[in-house]
């Protein structure tokens, strides 16, 4: 835990000799600053978990106090403490933000922002979208993460997506760069039953005035980092090269990761077929989370390769230009699992099968290529006493997805089991070799104009974004099958007023517009959708937020009230056709209040967390075959609270405890086919506890960390996708040793 080690060396007891105050931002230690991007570390709050400055899309770095939305900037310390060890998915670190709920597993990087589902495909990496997938989301080469709840297109440009939508906000991951001080660190981690991991981090600056920098990060994982039957194997290397001068800044990131998970399934759903509904009357209790739900041959294997370039050129004090570009090749070359990656629950006793009432398991491959380019200009100028910062940008992106010529899925009988005994089986067909054809071709082009105006104590932001999307599907012979073109123009605007240096009040409005959805894949009955190949019209999302921020003595509080309305693409059952359709059939509404707190609460005590309450309901929805709708019914948990407390008794020791609460929620297991059936998913509270000790061994700075996740071994269901369930992870102990040379 490099961040914890850093905080230990610097200490959190504020001393006049080692603290610098810059606009109420406390710098804790030179060690933390030397191991983070220098410009970010200067704004680090006490505790080292968050910063008060972060990237606000292509508008550049801004103080959180000037952003008219809720923004939390998570540091490297947060990643290492809550997400990078014990085989945990990256979404575990995001749930330190009260507006973010973690629904991820070792197989899927899913999470919710204010009730709206996202996953790795919704992320941006150094401001470039579609560099990650739902399956593989590494963070070992990441320095910090900006979590911006609300606007997306208005401050970042076109956001092509698949599988999920970033309508709820921007989660931007920023790569590590070489710092002024040389970096050489090596970390080993042991967790769970047999999980081993090694991380190497080397950074140097060179050239005249240290204008060039290179940072290399590597990862090796092997074994079972959990207490249930799973095996994770990962190999990764990323190289970041940057150059800075008086007139320009350039950054280039290149890397590749191979990630493999055998077994590890934690995703469950009730069989949708009417044949079995009479035996499904209630939600079974969450089983022992140490149960294994894998079988011989169950495996997901993925290769992810990225290249990203960012360049900014300053022509004079008033005009500059920027370019952002990226390429991603992602190949899930083995995806063998039960139907739709879920284990299917057949009755109240928890009988499990590999298919949704049909012959079951499947294997597929999904190669894809993504290209992105963005270019624009920034203008700084004054009109009287009004300062203007205007950004004009254009972007282009292309997403190419391939399918196997043998068919989308190779089906086979995987096995069976129960919730209490686990799942076992041996596939009874060989997995064939694939050849591919280009099935989906999506193209996007967009433009954005945004102006930030400052006058006295007030700031105004107003902008417009438009993009045109072309979503196409092809046949095996290369001819186009289905296509649709769509476009829209959306405003983004906000207002911030700071009566003094410690306080700001704000209002923000943002909108999101997706590209339309090409219907593909398997429906809930394990068969293709009846409108497979059709393209659904784009859906819009609108969000309004009003809030208050207060920063003083190293503590930042944000209180916000929000409302989001989102058009909804749903699976709809047809009795007449005896199958599923997918189309825009309703609207979701999310109203709530969120409070976040970051920084110091007392000498030697630091905190990260907060509380969110929201009412998430479906509006304007369709009725099921019985004429019953879900309009006005709750579809997500109302409460999410999280608090990480850190205590530093001296410069060597750090003691950390974390509690997280997620409220109960209703689920409708046969949503939109029989809305009369409703189950209650219970609330749950988890506790984590750990400590780290900083010392020197042979003159080498060394940090030992011991952490226990899910301290009381709580078994619980996680509501996912409104009518799906993920099973919790059991208590897991992990130990790490980090050496900084």
Residue 7 — very low, low, confident or very high, per pLDDT cuts 50/70/90? very low
For residues 554-586, b (16+ Cβ closer than 10 Å) or e, as one string?
bbbebbbebbbbbbbbbbbbeeeeebbbbbbbb
Give the Cα separation of 618 and 636 in Å (integer).
10
What's the rounded mean pLDDT across residues 258-285?
92
For the cut 70, the answer to whether the pLDDT of residue 23 exceeds it is no
For the cut 90, the answer to whether the pLDDT of residue 183 exceeds it is yes
For residue 608, what are the β-bridge partners?
598, 644
Give the Cα separation of 351 and 365 in Å (integer).
29
The CA angle 108-662-707, to the nearest 5 degrees, is 70
What's the rounded mean pLDDT across residues 705-719?
96
* Residue labelled with tokens 């359709």: 581
Confidence at residue 135, expressed as pLDDT on a 0 to 100 scale: 83
Residue 25 — very low, low, confident or very high, per pLDDT cuts 50/70/90? very low
Start-end of H helices in 364-494: none
Q: How far apart are the first and last CA of the chain?
A: 15
CA torsion 518-521-524-529 (nearest 10°) is: 60
**CATH number of the domain to which 362 belongs:** 2.40.170.20
For the cut 80, the answer to whether the pLDDT of residue 239 exceeds it is yes
Give the Cα separation of 375 and 431 in Å (integer).
44
Confidence at residue 171, expressed as pLDDT on a 0 to 100 scale: 92
What's the rounded mean pLDDT across residues 284-295?
92
Give the Cα separation of 64 and 55 in Å (integer).
9
pTM: predicted TM-score of the whole model, two decimal places: 0.90
Greatest distance between any 2 Cα atoms in the chain: 77
Residue 281 — very low, low, confident or very high, per pLDDT cuts 50/70/90? very high
If phi > 0 it is left, if psi is from -120 to 50 it is alpha, else beta; for residue 207 that is left
Contact (CB, 8 A) for 511 and 162: no
* Lowest-pLDDT range of 285-294, 473-482, 731-740: 473-482
Contact (CB, 8 A) for 83 and 139: yes
Shortest CA distance to 611 belongs to which of 44, 72, 119, 96? 96
* Lowest-pLDDT range of 301-315, 352-366, 638-652: 352-366
Shortest CA distance to 277 belongs to which of 360, 342, 344? 344
Confidence at residue 31, expressed as pLDDT on a 0 to 100 scale: 45
For residue 255, what are the β-bridge partners?
238, 306
- How many Cβ atoms are within 10 Å of 454's Cβ, its own excluded? 16
For the cut 90, the answer to whether the pLDDT of residue 245 exceeds it is yes
pLDDT digits (tens, 9 = 90+) for 529-581: 888 777 777 778 899 999 999 999 999 999 999 999 988 777 777 778 888 78
For residue 438, what are the β-bridge partners?
402
Confidence at residue 220, expressed as pLDDT on a 0 to 100 scale: 95
3-state SS assignment for residue 274? helix
Contact (CB, 8 A) for 126 and 55: no
pLDDT over 90 percentage in the chain:
59
Contact (CB, 8 A) for 501 and 526: no
3-state SS assignment for residue 313? strand
* Lowest-pLDDT range of 376-390, 445-459, 581-595: 581-595
Tokens representing 412 are 């086979």
Contact (CB, 8 A) for 513 and 159: no
Which residues have a Cβ under 8 Å from the Cβ of 114 and sit 6 or more positions away? 99, 149, 168, 169, 562, 564, 590, 592, 594, 612, 614
Domain count, the chain: 1
What's the rounded mean pLDDT across residues 144-167?
82
For residue 261, what are the β-bridge partners?
232, 300
For the cut 60, the answer to whether the pLDDT of residue 146 exceeds it is yes
Residue 195 — very low, low, confident or very high, per pLDDT cuts 50/70/90? very high
For the cut 50, the answer to whether the pLDDT of residue 612 exceeds it is yes
Residue 396 — very low, low, confident or very high, per pLDDT cuts 50/70/90? very high
Q: Per residue, what are the HEC states of 617-661?
A: EEECCCECCCCCECECCECCCCEEEEEEEEECCCCCEEEEEEEEE
Confidence at residue 210, expressed as pLDDT on a 0 to 100 scale: 96
Confidence at residue 103, expressed as pLDDT on a 0 to 100 scale: 92
Length of the chain: 741
Q: Are strands 579-602 and 299-314 parallel, antiparallel or unpaired?
A: unpaired
Which residues have a Cβ under 8 Å from the Cβ of 329 and sit 6 or more positions away? 303, 304, 305, 367, 368, 369, 370
pLDDT over 70 percentage in the chain:
91
DSSP 474-513: E-TTS-EEEEEEEEEEEEEEEEEEEEETTEEEEEEEEEEE
* Lowest-pLDDT range of 114-128, 166-180, 408-422, 599-613: 408-422
Confidence at residue 38, expressed as pLDDT on a 0 to 100 scale: 62
Backbone angles phi, psi at 616, to 5 degrees: -105, 120
For residue 72, what are the β-bridge partners?
147
For the cut 90, the answer to whether the pLDDT of residue 243 exceeds it is yes
Between residues 273 and 656, which one has the greater pLDDT? 656
Give the Cα separation of 484 and 519 in Å (integer).
12
Which residues have a Cβ under 8 Å from the Cβ of 19 and sit 6 or more positions away? 26, 27, 28
Strands of 315-360 (E only): list them: 319-337, 343-345, 351-353
Confidence at residue 532, expressed as pLDDT on a 0 to 100 scale: 78
Confidence at residue 359, expressed as pLDDT on a 0 to 100 scale: 65
* Lowest-pLDDT range of 42-56, 351-365, 376-390, 448-462: 351-365
pLDDT digits (tens, 9 = 90+) for 463-506: 999 988 887 878 777 787 777 777 888 899 999 999 999 999 99
3-state SS assignment for residue 458? strand
Residue 407 — very low, low, confident or very high, per pLDDT cuts 50/70/90? low
Segments forming the whole domain that contains residue 85: 2-740
Shortest CA distance to 88 belongs to which of 707, 580, 516? 707
Q: Which helix (H) or strand (E) holds 649?
A: none
Which residues have a Cβ under 8 Å from the Cβ of 687 and sit 6 or more positions away? 657, 658, 659, 710, 711, 712
What's the rounded mean pLDDT across residues 663-688?
93
Residue 1 — very low, low, confident or very high, per pLDDT cuts 50/70/90? very low
Give the Cα separation of 661 and 666 in Å (integer).
16
For the cut 60, the answer to whether the pLDDT of residue 61 exceeds it is yes
Q: Is the dihedral of CA 290, 291, 296, 297 positive or negative?
A: negative
């Amino acid at each position: 835990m490099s961040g914890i080690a850093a905080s230990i060396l610097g200490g959190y007891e504020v001393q006049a000799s080692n603290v610098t105050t810059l606009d109420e931002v406390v710098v804790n230690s030179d060690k933390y600053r030397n191991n983070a991007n220098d410009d970010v570390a200067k704004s680090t709050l006490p505790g080292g978990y968050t910063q008060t400055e972060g990237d606000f899309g292509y508008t550049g770095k801004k103080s959180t106090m000037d952003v008219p939305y809720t923004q939390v900037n998570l540091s490297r310390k947060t990643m290492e403490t809550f997400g990078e060890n014990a085989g945990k998915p990256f979404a575990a670190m995001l749930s330190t933000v009260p507006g973010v709920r973690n629904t991820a597993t070792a197989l899927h990087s899913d999470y919710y922002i204010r009730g709206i589902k996202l996953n790795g495909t919704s992320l941006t990496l150094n401001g470039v979208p579609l560099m990650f997938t739902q399956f593989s989301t590494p963070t070992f080469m990441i320095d910090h993460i900006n979590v911006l709840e609300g606007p997306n297109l208005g401050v970042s440009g076109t956001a092509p997506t698949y599988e999920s939508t970033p309508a709820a906000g921007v989660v931007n991951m920023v790569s590590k760069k070489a710092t002024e001080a040389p970096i050489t660190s090596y970390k080993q981690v042991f967790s769970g039953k047999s999980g081993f991991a090694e991380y190497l981090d080397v950074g140097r600056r060179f050239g005249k005035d240290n204008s060039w920098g290179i940072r290399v990060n590597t990862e090796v994982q092997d074994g079972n980092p959990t207490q249930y039957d799973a095996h994770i194997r990962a190999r990764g290397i990323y190289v970041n090269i940057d150059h800075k001068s008086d007139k320009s800044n350039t950054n280039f990131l290149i890397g590749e990761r191979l990630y493999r998970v055998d077994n590890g399934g934690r995703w469950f759903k009730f069989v949708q077929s009417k044949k079995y509904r009479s035996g499904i009357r209630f939600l079974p209790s969450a089983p022992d989370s140490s149960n294994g739900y894998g079988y011989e041959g169950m495996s997901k294997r993925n290769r992810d390769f990225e290249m990203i370039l960012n360049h900014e050129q300053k022509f004079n004090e008033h005009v500059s230009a920027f370019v952002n570009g990226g390429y991603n090749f992602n190949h899930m070359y083995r995806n063998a699992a039960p139907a739709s990656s879920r284990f299917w629950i057949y009755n109240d006793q928890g009988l499990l099968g590999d298919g949704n009432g049909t012959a079951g398991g499947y294997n597929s491959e999904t190669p894809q290529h993504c290209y992105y380019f963005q270019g624009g200009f920034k203008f700084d100028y004054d009109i009287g006493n009004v300062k203007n910062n205007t950004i004009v940008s254009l972007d282009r992106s292309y997403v190419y997805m391939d399918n196997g010529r043998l068919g989308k899925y190779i089906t086979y009988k995987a096995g069976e089991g129960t919730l209490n005994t686990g799942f076992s089986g041996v596939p009874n067909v060989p997995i064939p070799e694939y050849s591919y054809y280009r099935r989906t071709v999506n193209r996007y082009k967009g433009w954005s104009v945004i102006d930030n105006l400052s006058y006295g104590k007030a700031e105004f932001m107003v902008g417009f974004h438009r993009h045109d999307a072309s979503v196409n599907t092809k046949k095996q012979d290369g001819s186009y099958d289905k296509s649709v073109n769509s476009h829209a123009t959306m405003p983004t605007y906000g207002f911030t007023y700071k009566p003094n240096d410690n306080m700001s009040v704000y209002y923000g409005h943002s909108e999101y517009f997706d590209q339309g959805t090409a219907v593909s894949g398997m429906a809930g009955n394990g068969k293709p959708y009846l409108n497979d190949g059709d393209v659904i019209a784009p859906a819009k999302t609108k969000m309004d937020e009003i809030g208050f921020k207060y920063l003083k003595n190293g503590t930042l509080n944000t209180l916000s009230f929000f409302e989001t309305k989102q058009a909804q693409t749903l699976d709809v059952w047809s009795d007449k056709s005896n199958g599923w359709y997918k189309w825009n059939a309703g609207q979701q509404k999310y109203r709530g209040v969120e409070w976040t707190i970051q920084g110091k609460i007392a000498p030697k005590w630091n905190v990260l967390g907060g509380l969110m309450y929201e009412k998430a309901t479906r509006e304007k929805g369709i009725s099921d075959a019985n004429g019953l709708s879900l309009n006005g019914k709750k579809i997500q948990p109302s409460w999410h609270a999280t608090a990480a407390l850190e205590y530093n008794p001296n410069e060597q020791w750090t003691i950390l405890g974390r509690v997280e609460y997620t409220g109960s929620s209703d689920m409708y297991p046969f949503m939109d086919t029989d809305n009369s059936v409703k189950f209650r998913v219970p609330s749950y509270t988890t506790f984590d506890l750990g400590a780290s000790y900083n010392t020197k061994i042979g003159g080498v700075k060394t940090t030992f960390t011991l952490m226990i996740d899910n301290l009381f071994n709580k078994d619980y269901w996680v509501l996912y996708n409104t009518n799906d369930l993920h099973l919790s992870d059991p208590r897991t102990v992990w130990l790490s040793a980090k050496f900084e040379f």
